A and B are shown apart, each in its own frame.
Chain A
């Protein structure tokens, strides 16, 4: 009985507030736009049979005929892939250096990586607005160095979006990689070097494969949320920065077209199912390895 309550309470909560809402999104995506609140028809109160009869895939067809949507999906994918790779390139050396740091430093270094993660996401993105502006800090600094002759346009471009994603998601990349490097047995590297392996070869043959679960987890933790990112493209990106999270938000709040917004969400979810399942497999494997 107690076991039943223990399993049942969190299970039912997630079922009601996480799983069922997705079914509703799917239902609304099959509905038609209406000028009332909620702005879609048919509704449950019209009768179940009528409701199912009125469902169609019209919104899905609409999405394939309008350029805006598939361009937004493609450009979100491109931005998410490039920024995940950039975050890996920036994060790996930091995680690696943390793994090689003296034991006494490690706790402090960990805290320093986690600290920005605790600070508001919105504030961290906002901080870059002042830095990347035309008369902002970065341009002033580069002009002073004499690297550039006139200020660069950075804010409201895709470059700013990349910088924003790398900056805000960096701790998600560093922590899992560091965790896997931290578990690594240092004597493996010494053995390899004793046996005449060069440092670079030792890295490639030993460190990299052992850190791979961390790299995979980190890449998913950056890629999946970045694909649906809304805040960063809205304040750092320009009017030509197309990302699907932004399209969904505007479709819902500005155009008030709930059925189309739901359709956009369903397709985004379908795109994400594969990476989410792979991510869970990876996590599950690590849980089992730990047990």
Chain B
């Protein structure tokens, strides 16, 4: 087994300290008694109570959850189709434009995407609300899904698909019985990615949502602009906790999966 040199140990330690200490401080101060976030005045969970009784936060959380479930599911379907087209469909008219439209949203500044979608919705007279936010979220998150799924499609053994087709399976059956089970882990992580992207989005939602649909990031934003508040720290801690549990479960599941596969090999 090779050992890490001192330089590598130092850069890993400093790097992870930089990534995690700010989050840790945020979590610690959510249990602070004082309203001042910078002065420690004893342990208390009262900000969690305040957060739960804040109707505005709860309503926004519900809207956000609806948007996230709807948009990530649609984005997963469209993104998987797009990945399949990119990797397997070969040449077709406008392929360059298609792959451009897949990669560009990954890096497009959110203000541009948000502004352009808003002008579209106003142009076609669509009333702004949950539906418009969902449409906007599907559009950018399907691209992330298709990148995740296409890397999986690229790495797997195509002869499996060919064998199925030689044995008389239709292209659709081949996809359902052979391709889909193999790319399933990527499809699931694509869904999770789309889900968190949607939960997280502030800028595009601010442009595309109407007064009836305030999402949680928009609610947090309007309160953060006024300064640091322990209630936001409590809310953040809850969200960080949920994400951490989710990511740990997902990585344990994939570890389990790869161990199983390794043991199954002859």
Seen from chain A, the residues whose Cβ lies within 8 Å of a Cβ on chain B are 2-3, 6-7, 9-11, 13-15, 17-22, 24-25, 28, 38, 44, 90, 93-94, 96-98, 100-102, 107, 109, 111-116, 118-124, 126-131, 133, 135-137, 140, 167, 170, 220-221, 224-225, 227-231, 234-235, 245, 248-249, 252-253, 258, 261-262, 265, 268-269, 272, 276, 279-280, 283-284, 287, 290-291
Contacts and interface: CB of A to CB of B under 8 A. Distances in A.
Contacts of A135: 38-39
A100 B2 contact: yes
B4 A130 contact: no
A227 B19 CA distance: 22
Interface of B: 1-2, 4-5, 7-9, 11-12, 15-16, 18-20, 22-23, 25-26, 29, 37-39, 78-79, 81-82, 84-85, 89, 92, 94, 97-113, 115-117, 119-120, 122-123, 135-136, 138-139, 142, 146, 150-151, 154-155, 171-172, 196, 199-200, 202-203, 206-207, 217, 220-221, 224-225, 227-228, 232-233, 236, 239-240, 243-244, 246-248, 251, 255
A227 B109 contact: yes
B168 to A, nearest CB: 17
A116 B146 CA distance: 22
15 contacts: A10-B82, A18-B101, A21-B116, A25-B116, A102-B1, A102-B2, A116-B20, A127-B26, A167-B18, A167-B19, A235-B225, A245-B111, A279-B103, A287-B154, A290-B154
Contacts of B117: 17, 21
Contacts of A2: 171-172
Contacts of A245: 109-111
Interface of chain A, main secondary structure: helix
A279 B248 CA distance: 31
B103 to A, nearest CB: 5
Contact of B115 (A126, A130, A261): A261
Contacts of B26: 123, 126-127, 130
A86 B154 CA distance: 33
B12 A97 contact: yes
A101 B12 contact: yes
A128 B221 CA distance: 14
B99 A280 contact: yes
A181 to B, nearest CB: 12
Nearest to A222: B107
Contact of B224 (A13, A109, A119, A129): A129
